[in-house]
Amino acid sequence: MKTSNTGRGIAGVDIPFMAAAVCAALLATAGLWAEQRGEQAAPAAAAQGGRRGGAPPAPAGPVPRLANGKPDLSGHWANPYAPNMALRVVHPVTREPLKFARLGEALPDAVAPASGSAARTFDLPYTEWGLKQWKTYDPVTKGDYAGNCLPFGTSRNMNAPHGTQILHHPDAVAFLFEQNTWHHWVPMSANFKWPTDLPETWNGLSTARWDGDTLIMETAGFNGYTKLDTSGHPHSKEMKMTNTFLRTDSNTIQHTVTVHDPKTYTQDWMNVRVWRLKPAADVLMEYSCEENNLQNIVDGAIKLWKPDDEN
């Protein structure tokens, strides 16, 4: 639940600029470490002036470039709200609508609706284990990690409707999510190696590389507690998620996300989306889930979530 969106921090300092300064320092550190170690449309409102009523973005210009000549993904982006990733699922190679056995089959024994009052169906190519997770997901009765203000995970962060600020450096890229004021830092230097003894995490650990002008971000090492989206589509600890970002002009990013998780799905699947640059007046703002939800958990209005170790 979004309960605070003031955009102001201590002594009236703008939160967006504080966040930008912190991440700029992180990106600079990434560069130092590197040297030492050797089609889903964007929301119309956001694309046409944003929630704060600012002017629409300027006409698209050429793709901005980093010092190394690669596209600069920096900007505050309207990433499309995707509460149900199954609605536009496609084949990762052909990008045609995904086909699989039991597609659309009713699941009358599912314990709760998928989104709103919609009946839950066989909407993705589930394994037996994956189908069990899908049918038994019940955030109201069993509690939900998101309602408990725990990290959404990389997929659900990028599916959220509140905007994402990207800060880009040749050696790293940082995603600042307005959702719960979270961030995700991704090294791009070939010399950078994550420590091998790091624990599994909510967001996983990512690395990124270039394929021509397309940035490819690969993420693994998940703790398995999160869901892919608001509807509750499952994944396991074994998931490897690949996001691609291609900036086609100053205002547009073509984005894909591919899910590879043999424990949960019998085949890989993809979403294709378009991100639009937000107007300059639409800035990243503070978001506090805990402000109300914490007391609601104490009072019992929100069910206390407990992890399921089956993942």
| The amino acid at 86 | A
* Alpha carbon distance 82, 180 (integer Å): 17
Do the beta carbons of residue 107 and residue 232 sit within 8 Å?
Answer: no
**CA-based nearest residue to 244, from 84, 12, 128, 73:** 73
User: What is the share, in percent, of the chain residues with pLDDT greater than 70?
Assistant: 81
DSSP 196-225: TTPPPBSS-EEEEEEETTEEEEEEE-B-S-
Q: Give pLDDT, residue 267.
A: 98
Query: Does 300 or 91 have the greater pLDDT score?
Result: 91
Q: Give pLDDT, residue 196.
A: 93
**CA-based nearest residue to 81, from 224, 282, 274:** 274
When pLDDT is averaged across residues 161-190 and rounded to a whole number, the result is: 96
pTM: 0.82
Do the beta carbons of residue 130 and residue 232 sit within 8 Å?
Answer: no
Query: Residue 59 pLDDT > 80, yes or no?
Result: yes
Residue 34's pLDDT band, with cuts at 50, 70 and 90, is: very low
Tokens standing for residue 128 = 């037996």
Helix (H, G, I), strand (E, B) or coil at 208: strand
Residue 92: count other Cβ atoms within 10 Å of its Cβ.
Answer: 18
User: What is the share, in percent, of the chain residues with pLDDT greater than 90?
Assistant: 73
Query: Residue 156 pLDDT > 70, yes or no?
Result: yes
Q: Give pLDDT, residue 55.
A: 63
Q: Give pLDDT, residue 115.
A: 75
Helix (H) or strand (E) holding 140: helix 139-142
Sign of torsion over alpha carbons 118, 121, 123, 124: positive
The full set of domain ranges for the chain reads: 10-50+62-87+140-191+200-299
pLDDT tens column, 250-277: 999 999 999 999 999 999 999 999 999 9
Helices (H), 152-264: 154-159
Residue 118's pLDDT band, with cuts at 50, 70 and 90, is: confident
When pLDDT is averaged across residues 110-130 and rounded to a whole number, the result is: 90
Residue 279: count other Cβ atoms within 10 Å of its Cβ.
Answer: 21
Tokens standing for residue 28 = 């600079």
When pLDDT is averaged across residues 178-191 and rounded to a whole number, the result is: 95
Query: Residue 37 pLDDT > 60, yes or no?
Result: no
* Alpha carbon distance 91, 89 (integer Å): 7
Tokens standing for residue 145 = 């990690």
Tokens standing for residue 238 = 């074994």
Question: What residues does 206 pair with on adjacent strands?
Answer: 219
Q: Give pLDDT, residue 21.
A: 42
| The amino acid at 307 | P
Question: What residues does 257 pair with on adjacent strands?
Answer: 243, 271
Query: Residue 291 pLDDT > 60, yes or no?
Result: yes
Pairing of the two strands 172-177 and 182-187: antiparallel
Mean pLDDT for the chain?
85
Residue 283's pLDDT band, with cuts at 50, 70 and 90, is: very high
Residue 93: count other Cβ atoms within 10 Å of its Cβ.
Answer: 8
pLDDT tens column, 199-231: 999 999 999 999 999 999 999 999 999 999 999
